Amino acid sequence: MTKAKIIGTGSCLPPKVVTNDDLAKLVETSDAWIRERTGILERRVSDAATATSDLALAATEKALKAAKTDPAEIELVIVCTTTPDMLFPSVGCILQDKLKMVNAAAFDLSAACSGFNFGLSTAASFIETGKCKKALLVGADTLTKYLDWTDRGTCILFGDGAGAVILGSAEKEEGVLASLIMSEGHLGSVLTMPGGGSRDPEQKNGRFIRMNGREVFKFAVRVLESSVRKVLEMAGKAPSDIDLLVPHQANIRIIDHVSKKMGLPKEKVYVNLQKYGNTSAASVPIALDEALAEGRIKSGDLIVLSGFGAGLTYGANLIKW
């Protein structure tokens, strides 16, 4: 059966850097606390004039160039985001228009920090079933626009960014070998952005992220390990076969805990959260793009991408590069 294969990547981060010391001027926190409890040293914050589609566009242009792909060849555009420019049109349609991807169906996918893994599973299915030959998949978010800068439990964690990949088809046993996506809606209340939807269009409940950090932490540790193990099992592989794990970049303690339990040495786990914090749906494709640029991935390597987030949701994809 045809497999879906990543043939180009790109990413974009807004230029403004906000350090932990900058945040210590806003809330009762310190650089030492944030480093120790999260591993984050700084994050990027977009300015008022920059919307999610602006970052997505810059990341997509780089990915198209890397994949040597003309926009007209793209038949499917999926933008994974929970911070679209507006309720509609979708960021996918905005990108389609700006890049003249005239032969594509375009839509947004909402699975928060799991978005890219949900999107990869979806886009891969389109390619595997022959519904399209080339797809654009973007993870892009500007969560800093929805942070309560007086809440030290959330404002220290997040940053903005976008990552994009172009998917093509592979005839041999390579590309996305196995894919797992799952939701646990009964845990939805531990991570919410209640204002602004149809239940509260006037945002009487506020327009900010609300999170029970400890509960999200427990969930993340559980599902990160189980989903990586499951996706490996689906392809008859073991943790020792992994060449690089690219996990959602939320908290170094979550990543270290799971890596240790799975017997993965540090050099087999990609981490860049110290520079960007949690960029939500963008975190995995940005990490993938940087891992490639740093030469951490070579042809034939077995890569696992994984994510977890609001919903609550989680997902993992096993890729032979």
Other residues' Cβ atoms within 10 Å of the Cβ of residue 133: 15
The answer to whether 312 and 188 have CB atoms below 8 angstroms apart is: yes
The answer to whether 119 and 286 have CB atoms below 8 angstroms apart is: no
Residue 257 is a catalytic residue: no
Residue nearest to ligand ACO (CB): 309
Q: Looking only at residues 130 through 189 of this chain, which bind ligand ACO when binding is defined by CB under 6 A?
A: 152-153, 156
> Is 255 among the residues that bind ligand ACO (CB under 6 A)?
no
| Nearer to ligand ACO among residue 103 and residue 274 (C-beta) | 274
Q: Looking only at residues 84 through 123 of this chain, which bind ligand ACO when binding is defined by CB under 6 A?
A: 112-113
Using the contact rule CB under 6 A, the part of the chain among 1-9, 53-61, 209-217, 258-266 near ligand ACO is 209-217
| Nearer to ligand ACO among residue 135 and residue 310 (C-beta) | 310
- The SS3 assignment for 34 reads helix
Residue carrying the six token digits 């494709």: 285
Cis peptide before 64 (omega within 30 of 0): no
Write out the H or E segment, with its range, that includes residue 236: none
The answer to whether 255 and 304 have CB atoms below 8 angstroms apart is: no
Selected binder of ligand ACO within 216, 284, 291, 304 (CB under 6 A): 216
Residue 93 is a catalytic residue: no
How many residues lie near ligand ACO (CB under 6 A)?
A: 22
**Active-site choice (93, 155, 248, 251):** 248
**Active-site choice (113, 117, 251, 317):** 113
Residue 80 is a catalytic residue: no
The answer to whether 239 and 263 have CB atoms below 8 angstroms apart is: yes
| Nearer to ligand ACO among residue 34 and residue 94 (C-beta) | 34
| Nearer to ligand ACO among residue 217 and residue 321 (C-beta) | 217
DSSP 19-32: EHHHHHTTSS--HH
Q: How many Å separate Cα 312 from the centre of its chain?
A: 15
Q: How many CA atoms lie within 13 A of 16 on its CB side?
A: 12
Query: What's the min distance (Å) between Cβ of 91 and ligand ACO?
Result: 17
Selected binder of ligand ACO within 37, 98, 207, 210 (CB under 6 A): 37
The answer to whether 113 and 308 have CB atoms below 8 angstroms apart is: yes
Q: Which residues are catalytic?
A: 113, 248, 278
- Provide the binding-site residues for ligand ACO, judged by CB under 6 A: 29, 33-34, 37-38, 112-113, 152-153, 156, 191, 213-214, 216-217, 220, 250-251, 278, 280, 309-310
